[in-house]
Chain A
């Protein structure tokens, strides 16, 4: 199956491991992801705070490019939840609101582009993998079941809400990620916070607001005894991974909840090398959890440091009676 693929800015860098792991699955799941030509940013949650028409015209350019490329497939797939939602919303509102559609196409015409609302089916990578590939085919590819690994499925917000095309059925308590992770052999723990907010961009705006939301998720995962959270969104991964230390400092806590992408766990179960799945770039080390399923991850080559001065320093006087020397 062929799919048009919109990677989005996050997956180029901070969530590169999500991109690498997703692309590494292609052969195993019989899918081909065709990257959109010269795509631009989706505007995240920022552009629509500044100019509504421009924010949707920005997305409209990507939709128009995708429509032009849609030879043999009309599925436009995104793996980042914010990208997915923005593509979906622009398409949806253009279909619902004629005047809005006119405005967006008027703007697109300035760049010799046009988009026909409804001509693409905007889907998230999880939806494509769960519904098109299917659990039976996924199970066939599993060579290293994730037996003994306790995972909490974490969806975040934008994949299931507002879900304008009602693809997920339940905006607060979806279940397909759990089913997928179970099919990989993992033990899925209950996690009532599965669609709670990771704080989005609030880490940049109000630390107090953000850290509380991150704390709740780390607390929830710990309470339910999860070895790790499994996500499908670069923003969720970044907030919980990179800001967990800051959250711990803020609340004087010591949470250590690693968070990986579902595509990385699929890759591991399919026997793909951890390195090819981008594992090893996390702030909260997932290796202790991965050791439970016999996955060893080479440590990233440490940044060369100047040798510590201690080696060349003057000998320190020893306390009398401390015959053992150091300590």
Chain B
């Protein structure tokens, strides 16, 4: 069955971002270098190599088959890219040299732009992390850890307090962030980069 423009329109606001492309093309266009996504031969080496595969909704191979079949809503709803640990084992083992890890990153960016919650905790962690980077130019572990724990792991907070105190007393965590000098310059660069990304 071919997906018509009308059918696509019903899929959700993210469809506008694709600018008439199928999601698979959008992913190829947005991934730096040559993603080789279309070269997948469905061998399953990726899923068999994946250390966190057992907790994924779909193996990478399945996800790529879904992309080809234009099951786009299902791809975006899958937790698979969010459970990717960036170990690149699939990437180096892929007989077709598909840049699997890079493709996972790109799929996540659409889910983020859409604000969807396939894997709420993971998405929020990424967004909190970069929130501090955008504000200070550097990561801020204390802010990130406390914000994230309170938001997503309130039940584990008592256990995490022990860990957090350990980090503080061992001098392994700062309670105040460090800001780079030329933060304005960084903001200009990032704002322009976001404009350019939106044009893709």
Set B85, B108, B125, B192: member contacting A106, Cβ < 8 A: B192
Chain B residues with CB under 8 Å of A97's CB are 32-34
Instruction: Check if B32 sits within 8 Å of A108, measured CB to CB.
Output: no
**Chain A nearest CB, measured from B186 CB (Å):** 6
Is B66 on the interface with A (CB-CB < 8 A)? no
**Chain B nearest CB, measured from A210 CB (Å):** 9
Instruction: Check if A157 sits within 8 Å of B196, measured CB to CB.
Output: no
Is A319 on the interface with B (CB-CB < 8 A)? no
Chain A residues with CB under 8 Å of B34's CB are 96-97
Within residues 64 to 115 of chain A, which ones have a CB less than 8 A from any CB in chain B?
Answer: 89, 92-93, 96-97, 100, 103-104, 106-113
Chain A residues with CB under 8 Å of B130's CB are 43, 46-47, 50
Is B101 on the interface with A (CB-CB < 8 A)? yes
When each residue 286-316 of chain A gets 1 if its CB lies under 8 Å from chain B and 0 otherwise, what string results? 0000000000000010010000000000000
Is B191 on the interface with A (CB-CB < 8 A)? yes
Set A13, A171, A249: member contacting B173, Cβ < 8 A: A13
Is B161 on the interface with A (CB-CB < 8 A)? no
Chain B residues with CB under 8 Å of A96's CB are 32-34
Instruction: Check if B180 sits within 8 Å of A100, measured CB to CB.
Output: no
Interface size on B, residues (CB 8 A): 69
Residue of B whose beta carbon sits closest to that of A108: B189
Among B86, B178, B194, find the residue whose CB has the most chain A CB atoms closer than 10 A: B86
Interface SS of chain B: helix
Given that A103-B196, A107-B189, A206-B55 are known contacts, is A158 also in contact with B112, CB under 8 Å in the complex? Answer: no
A227 to B80, CA, bound (A): 36
Chain A residues with CB under 8 Å of B10's CB are none
Set A44, A56, A206: member contacting B139, Cβ < 8 A: A44
Chain B residues with CB under 8 Å of A50's CB are 108-109, 112, 126-127, 130
A5 to B48, CA, bound (A): 37
Among B129, B181, B186, find the residue whose CB has the most chain A CB atoms closer than 10 A: B129
Contact residues of B with A, CB < 8 Å? Answer: 30-34, 51-52, 55, 81-83, 85-89, 91-92, 99, 101, 105-106, 108-109, 112, 119, 121-123, 125-127, 129-130, 133, 137-139, 141, 145, 148, 153, 156, 159, 163, 166-167, 169-174, 178, 180-182, 185-186, 188-194, 196-197, 200
Q: List 24 A-B contacts (CB under 8 A).
A: A9-B139, A39-B180, A41-B139, A47-B129, A47-B133, A49-B108, A50-B112, A50-B127, A52-B31, A54-B193, A93-B33, A103-B193, A103-B196, A107-B190, A107-B196, A109-B192, A111-B186, A112-B185, A158-B86, A196-B51, A200-B85, A206-B83, A207-B153, A281-B172
